[in-house]
Amino acid sequence: MKRRSWMERQGWIGMTFILPNMIGILLFFVIPAIYSFVLMFTNYQFSNPNWQFTGLDNLKQLFHDDNFYASIKYTMIFLISVPVSMVLAFIVALFLNRSVYLKGLIRGMFFLPYISSGVAVAFVWMLLFQPSQGPINEMLRWIGIASPPGWFADTDTAMYAIDIVQIWLMLGYNMIIYLAALQEISTEQLEAARIDGASTFKITWKIVWPLVSPTTFLLMITGLIMTMKSFSIIQAITAGGPSGSTTVLSLFVYKTAFGYYEMGYASAISWFLFAVILVITVIQWVGQKRWVHY
Amino acid sequence: MNEKAGNMKVKLPVTIIMFVLGLFMIVPFLWMVSTSFQTPTEVFKNWLPSSLNWSNHIRVWTGSYDFVPYYLNSLKISIIGTVGAVFLSALAAYGFSRTSFKGRDGLFVVYLSMMMIPPQVLFVPKFIMFNWVGIYNTHWALILPAMFSIFGVFMLRQFFMSIPKEITESAFLDGAGHYKIFFRLVLPLAKPAIATFAILDFSWQWNDYENALVFLQSPKLYTIPLGLQNFILENNVDYNGMMAASSAAIIPMIIIFFVGQKYIIQGISSSAVKG
């Protein structure tokens, strides 16, 4: 009780600690968010000073827009990268958690893509996947595949090639977090199972995997949200092409706003993106209590 | 003794397998550096350059695509942005963890909810607002928003709360005010957490492509990601130049990673596991 009182007595000083930050959050987050929400109901275009409220027109247009449905499809394909990279990361973390030599070095090798993420690695992958003479297709031809895929150049494969880059990028991040979770598991429990004659596979599947389920859940949620928001890599490699086949939702917003300057419409799309993130977050709140066993 | 030998029997092959897989992960980097030293006729043909050919790097650094200004721009934005974010986040984190006033928790919920807003929602209004105020197409359009990090407030608040309340309380009873407690006591104790946040924040800003894409227009203001993009758009057959330019962009990050590896890994694993 006494503890609360000294903090409360100087309450106004407390406010001065938060105030500078709060002004920024207000200017760069809260006000823009409200502004964007209003724009959603207008036909605002940056070049055109005459705009008016159009009510729900943008939303109606959105649900009749083929490009919108296409972008949802590409976003779904993009999201495949999340569970795939998690499973791979879990396997890598299992092995690294057992004693290996050079643990720091190997961990660093897996983690390097995440830290160097950005435009530069995107360009490296662009060349690696180059269809006619890139090293990946050279290798595929060498092992006897006469006509390897066109990767980023082919509308059918471009999104999956992006997935490969994304999996490669996120693997190290997921691995680090799985490693931290694995280190919290008590060895006694595992020893007891081993003495009872359980195989390594069975111990992993029946004991370790359930024990790290909170981490799996968290990584899944944050991974889905992070992936839904990101478009740097895609913009750098394909800029949404070929013929729109990598225009995921977040990139669709960017293109509508800054390619066509349809800013009211872009706001409507961006709030759809927000709604999806909101749903995922609510699932997290509910699910944390129900589905995860600690 | 037997146990040790048995241990090695597992340990060695596991190490070898993991090392090979790890190499696989860094092949793109190795290929990038190797290509940056090759001549145009060698690209896509050899894995290793026949001799170290520095001309691509020289061209990137001193040619019409002078990477020096891009570097200076990126450094300026990332350093000012990070210093600002660290300081303002630490202040707010102290306010949220060690002071108490009406509406504090409600305010914190607002912070929480702002985390859910995707950057795509904010690009358009910020673009319009920055145009009004006149900071569109200036470095301030990147620096100012970067100084306010909700993640930073969360992370540092979590750390400040782990500092025993008794320590700050006894300092208070000894007559120290909040500012003295913050600067003399809490900040020094929070050095590891601050280092972690600073490194992560710096790397995000250094790699930031999306904001630069939206808010910068003049080539002389370009940061590295934008400069790189331009280089590649206009030189899309100059593969050696592309890889020399990419190396120039990535290598500082690799250095930061090796210097701050401990903090980066700690920061990432603690922030996620505690959730």
ipTM comes to 0.86
Q: What type of residue is A129?
A: F
* A277 interfaces chain B, CB cutoff of 8 Å: yes
Q: What's phi and psi for B105, nearest 5 deg?
A: -70, -35
Task: Verify whether the Cβ–Cβ distance B258 to A108 is below 8 Å.
Answer: yes
Tokens of A52: 């008016």
Reference A42, options A274, A271, A253, A266; nearest CA is: A266
Preferred mutation among B33, B99, B126, B237 to probe A, highest tally of A CBs within 10 A: B99
Reference B60, options B243, B250, B259; nearest CA is: B243
pLDDT at position A291, please? 60
Residue pair A233/A49 in contact by the 8 Å Cβ criterion: no
pLDDT at position A8, please? 59
Reference B179, options B108, B91, B105; nearest CA is: B91
CB nearest to A112's CB, from B11, B26, B98: B26
Task: Verify whether the Cβ–Cβ distance B209 to A134 is below 8 Å.
Answer: no
Between CA A266 and CA B176 the distance in angstroms is: 52
Tokens of A208: 């370790």
Which residues in B142-177 are b (16+ Cβ under 10 Å) and which e? bbbbbbbbbebbbbbbebbeebeeeebbebbeeebe
* B187 interfaces chain A, CB cutoff of 8 Å: no
* Side-chain half-sphere exposure of B145, counting CA atoms within 13 A: 25
Preferred mutation among A91, A111, A115 to probe B, highest tally of B CBs within 10 A: A115
CB atoms within 10 A of CB B114: 17
Give first-to-last CA distance, chain A, whole Å.
33
Task: Verify whether the Cβ–Cβ distance B273 to A215 is below 8 Å.
Answer: yes
Tokens of B212: 């630069």
Task: Verify whether the Cβ–Cβ distance A125 to B28 is below 8 Å.
Answer: yes
Task: Verify whether the Cβ–Cβ distance A127 to B242 is below 8 Å.
Answer: yes
Residues 199-258 of B with CB under 8 A from A: 203, 207, 209-210, 213-214, 225, 228-229, 232, 239, 242-243, 245-247, 249-250, 253-254, 256-258
* Cα Rg of chain A, angstroms: 24
Task: Verify whether the Cβ–Cβ distance A8 to B100 is below 8 Å.
Answer: yes
Task: Verify whether the Cβ–Cβ distance A29 to B150 is below 8 Å.
Answer: yes
CB atoms within 10 A of CB A294: 7
Task: Verify whether the Cβ–Cβ distance B98 to A135 is below 8 Å.
Answer: no
Preferred mutation among A7, A226, A271, A272 to probe B, highest tally of B CBs within 10 A: A7
Residues 128-157 of A with CB under 8 A from B: 128, 130, 133-135, 138
* A200 interfaces chain B, CB cutoff of 8 Å: no
Q: At what angle do helices A158-183 and B2-36 cross, to 10 degrees?
A: 150
SS (H, E, C) A149-201: CCHHHCCCCHHHHHHHHHHHHHHHHHHHHHHHHHHCCCHHHHHHHHHCCCCHH
Between CA B249 and CA A247 the distance in angstroms is: 26
Task: Verify whether the Cβ–Cβ distance B107 to A22 is below 8 Å.
Answer: yes
Taking chain B (275 residues) in runs of 10, the rounded mean pLDDT of each run is 59 88 90 86 74 82 81 93 96 89 87 89 94 93 94 89 84 83 88 88 90 91 88 79 87 83 79 50
In 3-state terms, what secondary structure has residue A48?
strand
Task: Verify whether the Cβ–Cβ distance A273 to B145 is below 8 Å.
Answer: no
Residue pair A231/A75 in contact by the 8 Å Cβ criterion: no
Low-confidence ranges of chain A (pLDDT < 50): 1-2, 294
pLDDT 10s digits, A121-177? 888 898 899 888 888 888 888 888 888 888 998 888 999 999 999 999 999 999 999
Q: Which residue of B has its CA nearest to A264?
A: B124
CB nearest to B126's CB, from A14, A28, A133: A28
Reference A81, options A6, A179, A173; nearest CA is: A173
In 3-state terms, what secondary structure has residue A145?
coil
Task: Verify whether the Cβ–Cβ distance A20 to B101 is below 8 Å.
Answer: no
CB nearest to B116's CB, from A16, A121, A277: A277
Q: Show Cβ contacts of residue B236 under 8 Å, excluding neighbours closer than 6 positions.
A: B242
Q: Show Cβ contacts of residue A33 under 8 Å, excluding neighbours closer than 6 positions.
A: B114, B117, B121, B122, B125
pLDDT at position B3, please? 46
* A212 interfaces chain B, CB cutoff of 8 Å: no
Q: Looking at the complex, report in whole angstroms how far the Cα of residue A246 sits from the nearest Cα belonging to chain B.
A: 17
Preferred mutation among A127, A175, A254, A288 to probe B, highest tally of B CBs within 10 A: A127
Task: Verify whether the Cβ–Cβ distance B114 to A33 is below 8 Å.
Answer: yes
pLDDT at position B171, please? 84
Torsion of CA A27, A32, A35, A39, to 10 degrees: 160
Residue pair A28/B148 in contact by the 8 Å Cβ criterion: yes
Q: Show Cβ contacts of residue B162 under 8 Å, excluding neighbours closer than 6 positions.
A: none
Torsion of CA B245, B249, B252, B253, to 10 degrees: -140
CB nearest to A177's CB, from B44, B104, B272: B272
Answer whether the bond into residue A135 is a cis peptide, omega within 30°: no
* Burial (CB count within 10 angstroms: exposed 0-12, middle 13-18, buried 19+), residue B224: buried
* B89 interfaces chain A, CB cutoff of 8 Å: yes
Preferred mutation among A119, A217, A278, A279 to probe B, highest tally of B CBs within 10 A: A119
